[in-house]
Amino acid sequence: HAIRREDYCAPAFWIDSVDLTFDLDPQKTRVLNRMTLRRNPDLAAQPLRLDGEDLNLARVLVDGQGCSFKMEGQRLVLEKLPDSAPFTLEIFSTCCPVKNTQLMGLHMSQGSFFTQCEAEGFRRITYFLDRPDVMASYSVTLRADRALYPVLLSNGNLVASGALEGGRHFARWVDPHKKPCYLFALVAGKLVAREQRIRSRSGREHLLQVYVRPGDLAKTEHAMRALMHSVAWDEARFDLPLDLERFMIVATSDFNMGAMENKGLNIFNTKYVLASEATATDTDYAYIESVVGHEYFHNWTGNRVTCRDWFQLSLKEGLTVFRDQEFSQDLAGSASARAVLRIKDVRVLRTMQFAEDAGPMAHPVRPDSYVEIDNFYTVTVYEKGAEVVRMMHTLVGREGFARGLRLYFERHDGQAVTCDDFAQAIADANPASALARLLPQFKRWYSQAGTPRVRASGSYDAATRCYTLSLAQSCAPTPGQPDKQPFVIPVELGLLSASGAALPLHLADAAPHAAASDEATHLVVLTEAEQTLVFSDLDGEPVPSLLRNFSAPVLLDMACTDSQLLTLLAHDTDPFNRWEAGQRLALRRAMAAIADKACGANGRIGQPILCAEFVAAMRGVLRHPTLEPAFKDLVLMMPSESYIAEQLDVVDPQRVHTVREAMCEQLALALHADWVWAWEQSQSRGGYCPDPASSGRRALGGLALSLLCLAARSTGDTLWPAKAYQCFKDATNMTERFNALVALVSCDSELAAPALARFHAQFRDEPLVVDKWFALQATAFDRGGNVLPVVRQLMQHPDFNLKNPNRARSLLFGYCNANPGAFHRADAAGYVFWRERVLEIDPINPQIAARLARALEHWKKLAEPWRSAAREAISRVAAKPDLSPDLREVLNCALE
Ligand code: ARG
Ligand code: ZN
């Protein structure tokens, strides 16, 4: 029962207005839904089929009269309806919020009511045409017990409120904007708000509110500041103003994802709202800023212009991720701080999205079919979708892109549209651009799954003083797509001399890239399977710097020497490629060690993995007088196990783990004095501030401390673990405290256990910190297989709760996804644990179960005995009857 994109058909009816009345009660909430509908005149007359799920239907009236209806599965079907005129439909039903553990539709969290409707949760609230192309005007009356639920919120403006009999009260909300039902929201409970009045550029006044549970108000300052920045940024960069008098954010601790952009009433996972220096790390602060931005930016890209159908999800998500990335970069300010954010985004893309694209769940940015849409809120739709938008931005330039967005809103404001409509608007606003010229081919980024591979090779001819660079692209088959057509690939590039000087580019058919900040960067647009570029007037063989700033989401194979990579690492003007050169060098060493049978027999790596030149280059970066600590931290961080695994056809997870550990240990020992120096440099002065410069300093300090403790593990030194314990105890902010704790836990110090106990005792009343406590133990160093028993024990801990997604994620995803060395056990006990948990969670929350199931998605790449053990575990889950469609779809894909 897959749904296919090509089967799209407009709705047979339009819903013009919806008036909802809720009598909120945890056991039995009554919902009265009064709609005005009319037939879609463009379609032949047909019955009205309304979606519904887990509802108890009490009454249906058409134009005030009883009428006949039937059920088709969970759908409510009305056959006899007025032909031409609009008519009213009144539906009375009930639902049970306390039993709603899947957290879709109306549910409870800590005694308050919340809703989550995207993608298809509104049907769990009332019968409706639950599809994004049906846009209606909403008015909502909420009635509830005044003492238990003093705050009653919904979308739009509060138009009336007051007391009712029996200790109850009501609030009536009217949303001035039409919207699809997935943007509907209500919240009712004991909440308090931080408020801020702002005036937008146009002079309009707005009220911003951040609602949380009473004890959490002090932790909302950062989210409020991020919201104010978001409003100002969208106005300044894209001329997009806030279109509401009131904009609300509400935090809940039970949430399946990060946050939700309901019109005027965003609902957030507490993880992306609450922060204090005592409880949140720099990374938490940065995520809060970007998620607040993301949901706010949806107000235009998602809400004002929405998706025609869920296949177009990337229309809003890819574009909005691009916008939140640009927001964070603009806020960070300096070129170096921007590059740091870019590198982090690319790291996520390459470890998560490239893996998805290479696995059984590979799908295009605009998928062609799905069973359960919740499974398609993926890194492909979000992060690769953002890269597709970024490439358009590169092809038309910053001004051109702003012009394109303006045209997009001129054409489509108030509509539900497609990815094609978006690309067309950007191209039409820039008729002379490469995007306009190549649009049909460019749109293959939307239709073809898989990561393109670009092979580059260069040759220098001393006689003609020319350098010839050949670029060839290909893309491996993905499920259902055996053959791929060439993509449009924007390649930003530059050349360096062997000594590292930027060289002027003399190249036929390429102009300096307008968007690039330095003149030595050109933009070449690949369109063919193979292309050759000739650079003239060169005195010697240059060092190519390709795909600067990661200008396209591709795999780049560059036949270049170590010494060329060392040149790039030391001198490239493009910080991204500078970082990339270091990663490539490290990756080369890792791959060689993994392939070398002599190295690492019986789990011990005898010889050094990293060569002297590489170590010296790392020292050069670490000691560099002007590079930012945040950038140094990224360069000195070895590629992750998952990124290394991705480069391999057959993965022995234990070997990957051992080799990476050995690399880190070598770097720790060889640069010991430098790490000590770096750690001392990083020690905080003055108060806490989560700005890019100070968080970069803390990040590098954390890496230094981790490696010094790692070195201590092999030398038997007790000084650094003791120092780490001291730091852990004395830290004045969570970032430094947690970094120290991580250092102790990951080097398997004897001080780890007392530190963990102390940490729990200190923060037991801070749920988000307790999540960190669980996650850290799940991702700890695995001494003789001790992590799994610890994880099993932690499931019995009074603070553990499988029904709370954050808590479940911290322990289970921490172990199954983030600790490959401990999860991929030769005795398959990790997979048995996975199987039990997936089956245990599925009846509670299918979305979370399906996500956890994906931990074994790449089982086919595993070496034996892991491969067979993983297949066995997956098959045993798949053999169960009554699995959710979410989980079933993931398992079927994995098993093919
Ligand atoms: N639109 C939300 C965001 O990215 C994601 C909500 C997805 N929820 C879900 N249950 N699939 O901002
Ligand atoms: Zn989003």
Average pLDDT over residues 159-180: 98
Q: Which residue has the tokens 């916008």?
A: 323
Name the closest-CA residue to atom 1, ligand 1: 260
- Check residue 639 and report its DSSP letter: P
Measure 254 CA to ligand 1 centroid, in angstroms: 14
- pLDDT of residue 877 exceeding 50, the answer is yes
pTM of the model: 0.98
Burial of 217 (0-12, 13-18, 19+ CB in 10 A): middle
Measure 731 CA to ligand 2 centroid, in angstroms: 35
Average pLDDT over residues 714-743: 97
Average pLDDT over residues 843-851: 98
Name the closest-CA residue to atom 12, ligand 1: 260
- pLDDT of residue 753 exceeding 70, the answer is yes
Instruction: Give percent of the chain with pLDDT exceeding 70.
Output: 98
Instruction: Judge if the upstream peptide bond of residue 865 is cis by omega within 30 degrees of 0.
Output: yes
pLDDT-based confidence at residue 585 (cuts at 50, 70, 90): very high
Give buried/exposed letters for 170-208 (b at 16+ CB in 10 A, else e): bbbbbbebbbbbbbbbbbbbebbbbebeeeeeeeeebeb
Would you tell me how many other CB atoms lie within 10 Å of the CB of residue 463? 5
Considering only CA atoms, which of 24, 304, 86 is closest in space to residue 175?
Answer: 304
HSE (side-chain half, CA atoms, 13 Å) at 416? 22
> Is 709 in contact with 723 (CB distance < 8 Å)?
no
Average pLDDT over residues 181-208: 97
Which tokens is 579 given? 């970082």
- Those residues whose C-beta lies under 8 Å from the C-beta of residue 892, and which sit 6 or more positions away, are 878
Measure 892 CA to ligand 2 centroid, in angstroms: 27
* Ligand 1 neighbourhood includes 377 CB (under 6 angstroms): yes
Q: What are the start-end ranges of the E strands in 64-174? A: 65-66, 70-72, 75-78, 87-95, 105-109, 112-116, 135-145, 151-154, 157-163, 168-174
- pLDDT of residue 16 exceeding 70, the answer is yes
Q: Which residue has the tokens 């998928």?
A: 367
Name the closest-CA residue to atom 3, ligand 1: 260
According to the model, what pLDDT value does residue 262 have? 99
* Ligand 1 neighbourhood includes 775 CB (under 6 angstroms): no
* Ligand 1 neighbourhood includes 261 CB (under 6 angstroms): yes
According to the model, what pLDDT value does residue 603 have? 61
* Ligand 1 neighbourhood includes 256 CB (under 6 angstroms): yes
- Say how far apart CA 793 and CA 659 lie, in whole Å: 29
For the CA of 374, the closest atom of ligand 1 is 11
Measure 306 CA to ligand 1 centroid, in angstroms: 14
- pLDDT of residue 517 exceeding 90, the answer is no
Instruction: Give percent of the chain with pLDDT exceeding 90.
Output: 95
Measure 677 CA to ligand 2 centroid, in angstroms: 42
Name the closest-CA residue to atom 7, ligand 1: 118
pLDDT-based confidence at residue 607 (cuts at 50, 70, 90): confident
> Is 248 in contact with 173 (CB distance < 8 Å)?
no
According to the model, what pLDDT value does residue 139 have? 98
- Check residue 504 and report its DSSP letter: P
Name the closest-CA residue to atom 8, ligand 1: 118
Choice from 101, 114, 130, 260 to test ligand 1 binding pocket (greatest atom count within 8 A of CB): 260
According to the model, what pLDDT value does residue 886 have? 98
According to the model, what pLDDT value does residue 75 have? 98
- Say how far apart CA 284 and CA 274 lie, in whole Å: 9
- pLDDT of residue 514 exceeding 60, the answer is no
Catalytic residue numbers read 295
Average pLDDT over residues 433-437: 98
- pLDDT of residue 604 exceeding 80, the answer is no
According to the model, what pLDDT value does residue 518 have? 60
pLDDT by residue (tens digit) across 58-106? 999 999 999 999 999 999 999 999 987 999 999 999 999 999 999 999 9
- Say how far apart CA 896 and CA 882 lie, in whole Å: 19
pLDDT by residue (tens digit) across 807-816? 999 999 999 9
According to the model, what pLDDT value does residue 168 have? 98
* Ligand 1 neighbourhood includes 386 CB (under 6 angstroms): no
Measure 209 CA to ligand 1 centroid, in angstroms: 21
> Is 665 in contact with 714 (CB distance < 8 Å)?
yes
For the CA of 121, the closest atom of ligand 1 is 10
Cross-strand partners of 59:
92
> Is 269 in contact with 255 (CB distance < 8 Å)?
yes
Please report which ligand is nearest the Cα atom of 310: 1
- pLDDT of residue 256 exceeding 90, the answer is yes
- pLDDT of residue 577 exceeding 50, the answer is yes
ipTM of the complex: 0.98
Q: At what angle do helices 629-636 and 692-715 cross, to 10 degrees?
A: 40
Long-range contacts, 716-721 (Cβ 8 Å, 24+): 721/747, 721/749, 721/750, 721/751
- pLDDT of residue 569 exceeding 80, the answer is yes
**Mean pLDDT across the chain:** 97
pLDDT-based confidence at residue 685 (cuts at 50, 70, 90): confident
pLDDT-based confidence at residue 598 (cuts at 50, 70, 90): confident
Average pLDDT over residues 756-762: 98
pLDDT by residue (tens digit) across 346-386? 999 999 999 999 999 999 999 999 999 999 999 999 999 99
- Say how far apart CA 136 and CA 178 lie, in whole Å: 5
